[in-house]
Amino acid sequence: MAEERRQYLRVIFEETIQVSTEEWSDPIATGLDLSLNGVRFHCEYPLSEGELVSIEFEPSFTLVGTAIWCWPIEWYYQAAVRFSDITVTEQEKLRKYIETTTKQDYPDFVGEVTTETEDTESVSEVEKLEVVSSEENSSAVVSQSESSFPDAELHAQTYAGSQVALVTERDSPHNDMIMQYLSERTGFKMSLMEKQGNLWPMLRENALDLVLLNQSTSNEDEILGVIQRLGEEHPDIPFIVFAGPISLDDRLHLLSLGAIDVITRPTHLSTIAQSVLQAFYDNRTVGTPALEEELIDESLDLDSDLDLVSSSAEGQTGLSPIMSSGDLIPA
């Protein structure tokens, strides 16, 4: 059975909002995108599908909607709420709010969308949770399904099979997430090094192409020691550091020690993957490029994704919820 719904334009929305349910309230939730049908955001607490949610945009403007889906991102959650019962008056007020926030006109609607209420096509986790880049058009989000790059020299699987080690502290909450994402998304052969002593034999055997160093406040001295030894004994092995929020001086210091990139948390898993792929691409001699197969689309499919008109959380299979490329590695 099909039903007609209006498809409203979604715009990038990075304002702080207050999200509340009967059980909790998060006054510093962060918006991701917004339309006259709903909103997508990061919040501190989980939502259940179908749960009523209050969204306070301003002290004098609050809307109530229904949670469509919610996925964990470490101790964050990313959620989508649909304004199912929004009135004409509320919608007009929301339009004015969007125009004030974006400083651009907002159209009435993009068009009519026919959606199947049964057997709805599921959206992959990677497509569903990809966070819209602030470098994209600030007035609209364009589906990347409209443009592909089949002849691209660099794509997610270009260096599949390359050997990458993740050097990190034991029991870091990010380890499994990073290892699984890089392995599944890029095809890297990942090795987890919770003891740095395991790193050096692999390097002596030329079994690694790149080293990822996960620096935290508790292992900062250890990571600096690894960096120093890498420079002395294996200057040809590229390494990338990602760390919690650190100053510009600290980032520049790590770069001066030989890091080819320094990624600060919070960051997306796709950013880590991009950094490694870029390192391999710049080197050109690292790894064995995979056959030029079709480009894996990592962007939002916005028509089927979160226009919050016809999206559904049902049928989400494949990667686990935490494995979206839009997932954040928190600070």
The confidence score (pLDDT) of residue 328 equals 59
Q: Phi, psi at residue 12, to the nearest 5°? A: -65, 135
Interaxial angle between packed helices 175-186 and 269-283, expressed in degrees from 0 to 180 and rounded to the nearest 10: 50
d(CA 329, CA 212) in angstroms, rounded, equals 14
Handedness of CA 46, 242, 202, 163 (dihedral sign): positive
Q: Count of residues for the chain?
A: 331
Say which residues have a Cβ less than 8 Å from residue 135's Cβ, sequence separation at least 6.
none
Q: Phi, psi at residue 279, to the nearest 5°? A: -60, -45
d(CA 208, CA 202) in angstroms, rounded, equals 7
Q: What is the pLDDT of residues 78-92, one digit of tens each?
A: 899 999 899 999 999
Give strand pairing partners of 241: 213, 262
DSSP assignment of 267-303, as one string? EEHHHHHHHHHHHHHHHSSSS-PPP--PPPP-S--TT
The confidence score (pLDDT) of residue 243 equals 84
pTM comes to: 0.48
- Domains within the chain, CATH numbers bracketed: 2-148+298-329 (2.40.10.220), 163-283 (3.40.50.2300)
Mean pLDDT computed over every residue of the chain: 75
Judge whether residue 34 has pLDDT over 70. yes
Say which residues have a Cβ less than 8 Å from residue 242's Cβ, sequence separation at least 6.
212, 213, 214, 215, 262, 263, 264, 265, 267, 272, 329
Supply 223's token pair: 């990571």
**Residue 198, helix vs strand vs coil:** helix
Supply 279's token pair: 């390192």
Q: What is the pLDDT of residues 212-237, one digit of tens each?
A: 999 887 788 889 999 999 999 999 99
Closest residue by Cα to residue 50 from 34, 33, 30, 70: 70
Handedness of CA 40, 41, 46, 47 (dihedral sign): negative
